[in-house]
């Protein structure tokens, strides 16, 4: 007996998905597939190719890229040691202790909390700077963050994202990336879409650093009106105070200096050109001076998109420019901009606004009786499936009444009735379940009839 098996008379444990994770089930998965198919299509029309990086990477990659002081890296990552060669690494004679104690040399690895770091790592690893620039990549898949689970916030969640790496930092690139997300949302008929943009300058003295000093000074002046979190952030990360949703702090925050008034000339010019480029593309935006992003790598353009029906977790997309990131990871100086869409929230919003497709029933349920009919039913199922119909073929014989009831429960459009009479006459009975009408067809006519019905309904 294996170690995990229950002892005799012991009730086996009833397992449940781990807190913050969940099963995605039909019919909802049909909507997930539609969303992902649309992403492949739309991103393809903008010249993006798909990258599928691994789900875990060295912890250090995320620490360096996302930033050691960010919430993501300091408290949200799933990190463990990677015992590459167990035998070689366990100190001699050591038999007890946790893995981390036994394998002090093992590299620490983390489940990815986001994918931009991986895409940049891949760009460097595969010398993509030698390809025609810029390189345009998109990805989709699960991300992992140890956050407090709630509506629209999970520990395993899904992102669809894209990155433009290399080439220039032309404002038209920022605008086109934003246009692409908006086109995607538009194609999905996402409701209540609101795009907020901002520029957070770059880290030089006469730009963001200068602004942060002014912001700190202004925050000191209103410190006693702020809550403990914001008070602490005045020292650790003053920009994040602007993110605060605390009602009691809003009055004080409104009096703080705006970064747009403190950008260096190059950043100010870049920002106004991005806005102009968005207008040329007919993309409607709102300037939001309080939009700062929680990841260290952002500079200049930042943006966030919200949608309806999501309560306080209403951000469905966050993105921005990150020109220094590839270099920070040991690559050549490289421009970069990208975004990540929260797919779970996107799906929630589509469901809330009734944009989710109804459950997809079967096209045809084959009700058969008798050995000869079974052989014919198997052949009919094969032909119908080949023609693209969804077919349910019961594995064992059923009385016709029971079969029709079953067809109804499965939401089938038609029941194909095959008994010995039908088979010997060569005339098959097709019952339309919505109105109960019944007609007889030859095998060839039946396929035609179904094809026409399908063309009409789609």
Which residues contact ligand ATP by CB under 6 A?
Answer: 114, 145, 147, 152-154, 157, 159, 294, 313, 315-318, 340, 342, 344-345
Q: How, if at all, do strands 49-50 and 135-144 pair?
A: parallel
Task: Give the residue closest to ligand ATP by C-beta.
Answer: 342
From CA 366, how far away is CA 377, in angstroms rounded?
7
From CA 194, how far away is CA 31, in angstroms rounded?
22
Total residues found in the chain within this entry: 458
Please say which residue, 166 or 342, places its beta carbon nearer to ligand ATP. Answer: 342
Please say which residue, 149 or 394, places its beta carbon nearer to ligand ATP. Answer: 149
Q: Which residues of 310-349 are buried (b: 16+ CB within 10 A; e: fewer)?
A: beeebbbbbbbbbbbbbeebebeebbbbbbbbbbbbbbbb
Please say which residue, 22 or 40, places its beta carbon nearer to ligand ATP. Answer: 22
Minimal distance in Å, beta carbon 17 to ligand ATP?
A: 15
Please say which residue, 176 or 344, places its beta carbon nearer to ligand ATP. Answer: 344
CB 410 within 8 A of CB 361: yes
Please say which residue, 138 or 157, places its beta carbon nearer to ligand ATP. Answer: 157
Collect all residues with Cβ–Cβ distance below 8 Å to 288 and sequence separation of at least 6: 196, 197, 198, 304
Minimal distance in Å, beta carbon 160 to ligand ATP?
A: 9
State the SS3 of 316-352: EEEEEECCCHHHHCCCCCCCEEEEEEEHHHHHHHHHH
Please say which residue, 318 or 336, places its beta carbon nearer to ligand ATP. Answer: 318
Please say which residue, 316 or 417, places its beta carbon nearer to ligand ATP. Answer: 316
From CA 336, how far away is CA 326, in angstroms rounded?
8
Minimal distance in Å, beta carbon 346 to ligand ATP?
A: 7
Please say which residue, 324 or 342, places its beta carbon nearer to ligand ATP. Answer: 342
Task: Give SS3 for 402.
Answer: helix
Minimal distance in Å, beta carbon 285 to ligand ATP?
A: 16
From CA 301, how far away is CA 306, in angstroms rounded?
17
Minimal distance in Å, beta carbon 164 to ligand ATP?
A: 17
Minimal distance in Å, beta carbon 65 to ligand ATP?
A: 12
From CA 377, how far away is CA 156, in angstroms rounded?
43
Minimal distance in Å, beta carbon 158 to ligand ATP?
A: 8
Minimal distance in Å, beta carbon 62 to ligand ATP?
A: 12
* Beta-strand runs (E) in 173-298: 194-199, 286-287
């Amino acid at each position: 007996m294996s170690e995990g098996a229950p002892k005799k008379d012991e009730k086996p444990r009833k397992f449940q998905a781990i807190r913050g994770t969940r099963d995605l089930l039909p019919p909802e998965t049909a909507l997930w597939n539609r969303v992902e198919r649309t992403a492949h299509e739309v991103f393809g029309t903008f010249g993006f190719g798909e990258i599928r990086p691994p789900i875990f990477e060295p912890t250090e990659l995320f620490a360096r890229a996302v930033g050691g002081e960010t919430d993501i890296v300091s408290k949200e990552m799933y990190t463990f040691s990677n015992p590459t060669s167990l035998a070689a690494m366990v100190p001699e004679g050591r038999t007890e202790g946790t893995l981390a104690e036994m394998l002090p040399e093992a590299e620490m690895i983390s489940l990815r909390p986001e994918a931009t770091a991986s895409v940049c790592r891949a760009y460097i690893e595969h010398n993509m700077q030698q390809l025609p620039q810029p390189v345009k990549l998109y990805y989709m898949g699960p991300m992992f963050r140890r956050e407090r689970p709630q509506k629209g916030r999970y520990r395993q969640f899904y992102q669809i994202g894209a990155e433009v790496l290399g080439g220039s930092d032309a404002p038209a690139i920022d605008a086109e990336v934003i246009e692409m997300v908006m086109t995607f949302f538009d194609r999905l008929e996402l409701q209540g879409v609101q795009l907020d943009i901002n520029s957070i300058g770059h880290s030089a003295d006469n730009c963001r650093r200068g602004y942060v000093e002014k912001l700190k000074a202004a925050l000191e002046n209103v410190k006693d009106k702020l809550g403990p979190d914001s008070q602490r952030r005045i020292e650790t990360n003053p920009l994040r105070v602007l993110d605060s949703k605390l009602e009691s702090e809003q009055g004080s925050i409104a009096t703080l200096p705006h970064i747009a008034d403190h950008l260096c000339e190059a950043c100010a010019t870049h920002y106004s050109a991005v806005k102009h480029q968005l207008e040329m593309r007919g993309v409607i935006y709102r300037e939001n001076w309080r939009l700062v992003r929680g990841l260290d790598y952002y500079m200049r353009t930042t943006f966030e998109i919200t949608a309806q029906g999501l309560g306080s977790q209403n951000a469905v997309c966050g993105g921005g420019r990150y020109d220094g990131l590839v270099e920070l990871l040991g690559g050549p100086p490289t421009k970069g901009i990208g975004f990540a869409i929260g797919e779970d929230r996107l799906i929630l919003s589509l469901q809330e606004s009734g944009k989710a497709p109804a459950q997809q029933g079967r096209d045809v349920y084959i009700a058969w009786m008798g050995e000869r009919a079974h052989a014919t039913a198997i052949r009919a199922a094969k032909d119908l499936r080949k023609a693209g119909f969804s077919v349910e073929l019961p594995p064992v014989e059923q009385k016709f009444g029971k079969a029709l009831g079953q067809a109804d429960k499965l939401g089938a459009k038609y029941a194909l009735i095959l008994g010995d009479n039908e088979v010997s006459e060569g005339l098959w009975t097709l019952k339309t379940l919505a109105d109960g009408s019944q007609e007889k067809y030859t095998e060839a006519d039946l396929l035609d009839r179904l094809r026409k019905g399908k063309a009409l309904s789609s």
